Amino acid sequence: MTVEQKTEITNVIRETKVEPVARVDFDISVGVDVPRNHKIRLHRLPARIVKIIPAYETYEYFMLADGRIVIVDPDTLKIVLILT
């Protein structure tokens, strides 16, 4: 993924005005599973992002209070990408 793609994805998600997650009690790192019992609401990636990266068609995301965007594979709940 190019820097331009990451920037575009970040801009598209910021435009969606999703409510950030105030607190998490697990490690936010690529490869870490989001606990199934966690109260984080995952959101589908906007269609504009899927056009940029078709492989992310089913992926979901959440935003942290510090502005990081966390992209998750909904089948495994694994964090696949973190955008700052």
pLDDT at residue 37 in the model: 79
**What's the confidence (pLDDT) of residue 36?**
83
Regions of the chain short of the pLDDT cut 70: none
Provide the pLDDT for residue 38.
Answer: 78
- Name the region of 5 (left: φ>0; alpha: ψ -120 to 50; beta: rest): alpha
* Residue ranges of domains in the chain, CATH in brackets: 3-83 (3.10.450)
Q: What angle do CA 19, 4, 41 make, to 5 degrees?
A: 20
- Predicted confidence at residue 22, as pLDDT, reads 85
